């Protein structure tokens, strides 16, 4: 009897492996992504209820329920996409999971994952460029004015964490691409 047959925990770990080993740094980055998105999600919540978080701007004219629904949906989608990026380091990003009827166990072509991941990483990296220009008032860009420097600093830190998401997704996409490449002799 094999070790994996005697111990179900070992069997689960053996079954949950990717085709090739995931670099340790990529695993850590994938775990950090939801945590990088979380501060901005929490920052948005009071804004949905009409508290402007120190912004020197007029309140939105839409009803409170619409603002709350918008902010909660945006925050949930942000966290869902951050968790979806875990597929770049997990077996379910390489093979369709067994619970998907009709497709279970099929190998996912690498570019079906790489293209959307790279495009979203580039889009989110564009947010980084905009954040840098606005936060440091470069080339005429500016942020929303704040009532004091502490609110501005808090907003810069929270949004600064969020804009790291783009480069992190691009790094994970590169690691995924490297891992999924066929060796030259197998082509």
Rounded Cα distance between 86 and 107, Å, is 17
Torsion of CA 20, 23, 28, 32, to 10 degrees: -70
Residues 169-183 as b/e (b if ≥16 CB within 10 A, e otherwise) read: bbbbbbbbbebbeee
Kindly report the average pLDDT of the chain as a whole number.
86
Q: Would you state the pLDDT for residue 168? A: 96
CB 113 within 8 A of CB 91: no
Encode the chain in three state secondary structure: CCHHHHCHHHHHHHHCCCCCCCCHHHHHHHHHHHHHHHHHHHHHHHHHCCCCCCECCCCCCCCHHHHHHHHHHHHHHHHHHHHHHHHHCCHHHCECCCCCCCCCCCECCHHHHHHHHHHHHHHHHHHHHHHHHHHCCCCCCCCCCECCHHHHHHHHHHHHHHCCHHHHHHHHHHHHHHHHCCCHHHC
In this predicted structure, which of 59-63, 132-136, 175-179 has the lowest mean pLDDT? 59-63
In this predicted structure, the answer to whether residue 182 has a pLDDT above a threshold of 80 is no
Q: What percent of the chain clears pLDDT 70, i.e. is strictly above it? A: 88
Q: What is the pLDDT of residues 54-66, one digit of tens each?
A: 888 888 788 889 9
Q: pTM to 2 decimals? A: 0.82
User: Does 187 score more than 70 pLDDT?
Assistant: no
- Mean pLDDT, rounded, for 171-186: 81
> Phi and psi dihedrals of 25, rounded to 5?
-65, -35
The pLDDT of residue 154 is 92
The closest of 97, 96, 84, 88 to 170, measured between CA atoms, is: 88
Tell me whether residue 106 is exposed, middle or buried, using C-beta atoms within 10 angstroms of its C-beta: 0 to 12, 13 to 18, 19 or more.
exposed
Dump pLDDT digits (tens) for 89-107.
999 999 998 888 888 889 9
Q: For residue 81, is pLDDT > 50?
A: yes
Distances (CA, A) of 57 to 37, 133, 150, 157: 24, 20, 16, 20
């Amino acid at each position: 009897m094999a070790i994996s047959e005697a111990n179900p925990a070992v069997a689960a770990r053996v079954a949950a492996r990717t085709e090739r080993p995931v670099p340790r740094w990529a695993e850590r980055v994938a775990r950090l992504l939801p945590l990088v998105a979380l501060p901005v999600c929490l920052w948005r919540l009071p804004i949905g209820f009409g508290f402007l978080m120190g912004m020197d701007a007029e309140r939105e004219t839409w009803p409170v329920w619409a603002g709350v629904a918008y902010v909660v949906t945006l925050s949930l989608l942000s966290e869902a996409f951050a968790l979806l990026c875990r597929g770049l380091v997990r077996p379910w990003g390489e093979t369709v999971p067994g619970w998907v009827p009709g497709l279970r166990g099929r190998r996912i072509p690498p570019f079906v994952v790489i293209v959307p991941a790279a495009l979203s990483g580039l889009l989110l990296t564009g947010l980084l460029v905009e954040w840098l220009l606005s936060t440091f008032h470069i080339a005429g860009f500016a942020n929303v004015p704040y009532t004091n420097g502490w609110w501005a600093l808090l907003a810069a830190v929270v949004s600064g964490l969020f804009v790291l998401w783009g480069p992190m997704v691009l790094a994970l996409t590169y690691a995924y691409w490297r891992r999924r490449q066929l060796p030259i002799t197998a082509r």
